[in-house]
Structure 1
Amino acid sequence: MLKKTPLKKKTAGRRPASKQAACCTRSSIIAAARTLFAERGLEGTSVREVAEAANVNNAMIYYHFTDKVEMYRAVLADSFAEFDHIWEHAIFKSQASAREKIQQYVEELIGFQHNNEEIRRILSMEFACCGKNLKWLADNFFHRSHERLAAIIKEGIKKGELKKVDPSVAISALVGMVIHSFITRPIAEHVIGKKLDLSPAHFGAFVTGVFFDGLGQNKK
């Protein structure tokens, strides 16, 4: 009679490796989804296409996400959660001037734009339709930054660094200067025939200067 080969027991030591593998797989899926969503949008991208781009099967997608919308929001959350870390910078907890705090924020926002072209393209599509996902993003991420920026602007008004303005309008103008400059950069560079210097230091100082001082010459 043939002897039965005893089954090998799984050791508990393999679990951390599985968690690490699962984490890597999720990251791969998010990276692939981000690229496809930037090219085709949410509606134009299928779960199957994401699975193929991430080199996984559909079942693995649904292991990590309940549906395509959850995966889409994970792509957005993954990037904006990282951006939210800028508020941990020591300057925002210090007695620094509103101008210094605003410039730090602007430079971080510019750096984010340089490193997240795909997210900017996704947001451009979201801004065009202003759907549920944009409102979800506003509730979960934009709202916190808006409140913090508004507090800095109010502080600047109180200390005489800024004129009395509506903080919400001021924030839209400030953020718009940065984001719109990146959106229109390809056209602007084609028209002028050279690269624009949108580096955090150079462009950040420009945006902060326009925000606080304007472009007009002060004639005394």
Structure 2
Amino acid sequence: MSSKESLSTVEKILQAAEELFAERGFDGTSVNLIAEKADVNKAMIYYHFKDKNDLINSMFERILREAEHYLKRAFAAHSDSGIEVSHLDRIEEELNFLSKRKRIISVMMMEALKGDEKDNYFFKCAERVFKHELKGFKSESGEIEENSSDRQRDLVYEFFTGFVPIIAFVVFNEKWCDYFKCDSDKAMEYFLESFRKTHLASNF
């Protein structure tokens, strides 16, 4: 099997799993269902992934890499262009990026609510965002200072007033607009305005 064919098979499996996990949840999705939806032999899934946990971990690792790549590129473009981009514009770009990956983010959020999850990718994703946001608490290596006296306070603030509202808006926006009969563009406008008055107003 060529690497191109292998990649295509992996992508089909991951896409099918992502759809099923979003619809049925992780526990409600069997490997048989994934194989059926991906139109592959069940053995092919076990060829590429050790088990269902390995499969979902691969999905989460991929979204973390995508998010980290996007953040690095966004910050680099901001630094190199010399054009001042507002924090609100950056948040809107992040929302647009995350909206394209809404299904996997929804799964990540659902899995984060489980008490028995060993690798909480929802928190890992937040941590990677914090490494870009909490610049004042970074060491020379680029890591967030673990022993900073203000670190815990700022992590709580960034997570519960910044990261969680953004993720919640991405996950619930479409259904919220349907239920409350709100135009999606207006919902984005209102969210950004409220975010500016709360989270950004306290930070900048």
Interval of TM-score (by shorter of Structure 1 and Structure 2):
0.7 to 0.9
- Counterpart pick for 1:107 among 83, 87, 92: 92
Whether contact under 8 Å (1:30, 1:75) holds in the other structure is yes
Percent identity, aligned pairs only, is 23
Q: Which structure 2 residues correspond to residues 33-182 of structure 1 after superposition, within 5 A?
A: 33-86=17-70, 87-89=72-74, 90-91=76-77, 93=79, 100=86, 102-103=87-88, 105-136=90-121, 138-139=123-124, 141-151=125-135, 166-172=153-159, 173-182=161-170
> Secondary structure of 1:45's match?
coil
- C-alpha displacement of 1:54: 0.7
> Secondary structure of 1:88's match?
helix
- C-alpha displacement of 1:62: 0.9
The one of the two structures with greater contact order (alpha-carbon pairs below 8 A, sep at least 6) is 1
The separation in 1 between residues aligned to 2:155 and 2:78, in whole angstroms, is: 19
> Secondary structure of 1:194's match?
coil
- Counterpart pick for 1:212 among 188, 200, 204: 200
| TM-score, L = length of structure 1 | 0.69
Question: Bigger CA drift: 29-38 or 144-153?
Answer: 144-153
Q: Which residue of 1 aligns with 2:182?
A: 194
The separation in 2 between residues aligned to 1:95 and 1:167, in whole angstroms, is: 29
Question: Bigger CA drift: 106-115 or 144-153?
Answer: 144-153
Q: Give deviations 1:87-121, integer Å, cap 9, x for gaps.
A: 22224646989983x43542233113321221232
- 5+ residue gaps, structure 1, are 1-14, 155-163, 215-220
> Secondary structure of 1:56's match?
coil
Letter in 1 for 2:98: Q
Whether contact under 8 Å (1:110, 1:204) holds in the other structure is no
Higher Cα radius of gyration:
1
